[in-house]
Amino acid sequence: MNGSSFVIETPPQFDFLQTVLSHGWVMLAPFRWAAARGRLSYVYQSEAGAVLRLDNVRYWSTRD
């Protein structure tokens, strides 16, 4: 399976972990949270009907 990669720029004060854990939605389908690895996965269905599985959504800082 081929994959693609992209980056979403965030403001300096953005906290990925706080966002992921803030409302509990990460504990509900279609999300999967791998806490030990800090990775989020989920399934998305577009309006056109395409189903995409997004794996290894993660955050790392290049601001340090």
Long-range contacts of 31-36 (CB under 8 A, 24+ apart): none
The model's pLDDT over 6-54, given as tens digits with 9 standing for 90+, comes to 777 888 888 888 888 888 888 888 888 888 887 888 888 889 988 888 8
Domain count, the chain: 1
List of residues 6+ apart from 26 with CB closer than 8 A: 20, 33, 40
Q: pLDDT, tens digit, for every residue of 29-40? A: 888 888 888 788
pLDDT given at position 54: 81
Range(s) of the domain holding residue 60: 1-64
The tokens for 5 are 């990669």
